[in-house]
Amino acid sequence: MTDGGKKILIVEDDSAIAEIERDYLEIDGFAVEIAGDGHTGIQRGGSGEFNLILLDVMLPGADGFAVCRKLRESVDVPILMVTARREDIDKIRGLGLGADDYIVKPFSPGELVARVKANLAQYERLRSRGGFEPGGGELSELKAGPISIRPQSRRVYVQGRELTLKNKEYELLLFLVEHLDMVLSKETLYEKIWGYDAVGDSATVAVHINRLRDKIEDNPGDPKYIQTVWGAGYRFKA
C-alpha cells in the first residue's frame, strides 16, 4: 500500500543511489519510479503522474537546472533538488528556477523521507487553504498595502495586476501577510513554510524573499513592503 497513493519520481543517473532512495521511500509507503537522465526526467516528470519529484543536479542529457526549468512550465508539484556540491550558487540557481527545496548529499535515509513528507504535507496544506462562504462564493480577500490575496483560488494581485507565483512563493507571501507587522525569523519562516528543521537552510528563505520582492516591490533593492529586520528576520509592512 502506498502513502495515500503518493507517487515519487527520482531523477538520478547513479543507479545505486537511486535504488537506495527508492527502497527507503517504498518502505515508507510511497510508489517510486526512477528516471536515469535529464531528458527522461522531463518526459516522465511532465506526465502529471507524480506528487513529488526528487531531482539530482548532475545529470546526463540535461542537468537538473534545465530539467527543473522545463518541468515548471507544465507541472505544479514539489520539486526537491539534490546536490553534492555545497556552494550556495547551486542551491540558489535551483531555487530560482522554481524548485521548492534542496537536500545536500550525503544525507541519511531518514532525512530524505522526512524532507519528502514535509514538502508533500506543505503542498497539500497550501492546496486546501481557503474555503467558501455559507452563502456561496469565495472567502474575503486578504489585503495589505497593494497586495490582495484570494485564498480559495490562490490568486494574488498587486494594484489589480495578477501575479504568477510558485507554490512556496505564494505560501510565504500569505504567511507574511497573515502576520502583518510581525518580525519573523528565517528559522520560523522555514519551519512554517517548508515544515522541516531550519538549521542551515537560511539561503532557501532569502532566495524566496528576493523572488517575492522582484515581483511586488517597485524597487526590490529598497523594499517598502517586505522589510529586512537586521539580525532578526523579515516583516511585511503595509
pLDDT digits (tens, 9 = 90+) for 83-103: 887 665 677 666 777 888 888
**Domain residue spans of the chain:** 7-128, 142-236
23-65 pLDDT, tens digit per residue, is 999 999 999 999 999 999 999 999 999 999 999 999 999 999 8
Longest dimension (CA), the chain: 56
What is the spatial distance between Cα 32 and Cα 22, in angstroms, rounded to a whole number? 6
pLDDT of residue 3: 60
What is the spatial distance between Cα 175 and Cα 22, in angstroms, rounded to a whole number? 33
Looking at CATH, the fold of the domain delimited by 142-236 is given as: Arc Repressor Mutant, subunit A (1.10.10)
pLDDT of residue 175: 92
Q: What is the pTM assigned to this prediction? A: 0.70
**149 pLDDT more than 70:** yes
End-to-end CA separation in angstroms for the chain: 48
CATH of domain 7-128: 3.40.50.2300
